[in-house]
Structure 1
Amino acid sequence: MSRDIQVTVDCADPGKLATFWAEALGYRVQDPPEGFATWDDALEAFGVPPEHRNDASAVNDPEGSGPRVFFQKVPEGKQVKNRVHLDLRAAPGLEGEERMAALEAEAARLVGHGATRLARHEPSPPLQGGHIILADPEGNEFCLD
């Protein structure tokens, strides 16, 4: 049996991370409910107090094929390295220097949107094509692969 999945990220600032990951994944921040121009309008109408209007956010694949990514506010900060992380396929089909150049270009773009560069791992054939490790604005590690 096949299942739809949602990836959930605990964080301190759901709106900020949703904006970052929408850019990183080519997704869109989820639209507000029908009949509302903005999420703030919707949350106001639903009686959500201003201090809780950034408790959650989500991004969706505009083509509808990728999983929804949901960001939820939690009180504790990140403590250790992620046990699960996303690999962004930023250089499919490329090898060697061409692959690493494509990864470097995507790393530079994401750093411009708030990512932090952590490490570069050089290709080591036959199993490893090389990758770059970054962290999102709250320190969650992910790889450009």
Structure 2
Amino acid sequence: MASIKEFQVTFDCAEPVRVGRFWCEVLGYVGPAAPEGFESWDAYDRSLPAEQQGSWFACSDPTGAGPRIYLQRVPEGKVVKNRLHLDVRTATGLVGEERVRVLEAECERLVALGGTRVRLLVADEENESCLVMQDVEGNEFCLD
């Protein structure tokens, strides 16, 4: 039996386009291409019936290495802590104060985009420091 090599990460959210554009900026991903006959994704979206406008968005790694991120509108809001979260590998290989400086700098950039800083988890005997954040709808992720 062949193993699956590709996967997609799906977010349930209230505003897929807003959340998707945030993640494009975080990860250096790109949004969906304009479908044939449309000058842009936004022009395509505006052509849909009102109830379907803004109902989904997809982000892709332009290099093809990372997983696709799909965002879909759902009626209910986030109520509890995520059971799954993304670790954004910002400071791989760095330790100590240098690692924290890099994490803090990326945190500042993401806060300017609408993200929220939650807390810095400082290094211990087993783990290096990481910074817990939330995206524009409160989904938790870590700068690692």
Task: Note whether the superposition's TM-score is higher than 0.5.
Answer: yes
Is the counterpart of residue 122 in structure 1 residue 119 in structure 2?
no
Q: Deviations over 1:119-143 (max 9, x none)?
A: 1111113x21010000001000000
Instruction: Give the share of equivalent positions with the same residue, in percent.
Output: 48
Contact 2:45 2:54 in 1 (8 A): no
Structure 2, unaligned stretches of length 5 or more?
A: none
Equivalent residue number for residue 24 of structure 2: 22
Deviation track 1:23-59 (CA, whole Å, cap 9, x = no partner) reads 01110111122332122433466xx213321000010
The 5 A counterparts of 1:1-145 are 1-43=3-45, 48-125=48-125, 127-145=126-144
Aligned-residue RMSD, C-alpha: 1.3
Number of equivalences: 142
Q: Deviations over 1:55-110 (max 9, x none)?
A: 00010001011110000000000010000000000001111000010000000100
Give the structure-1-normalised TM-score: 0.92
Letter in 2 for 1:52: Q
Relative distance call for 1:40 and 1:115 in structure 2 (3 A) is closer
Contact 1:40 1:53 in 2 (8 A): no
Unaligned runs of 5+ in 1: none
TM-score, structure 2 normalization: 0.93
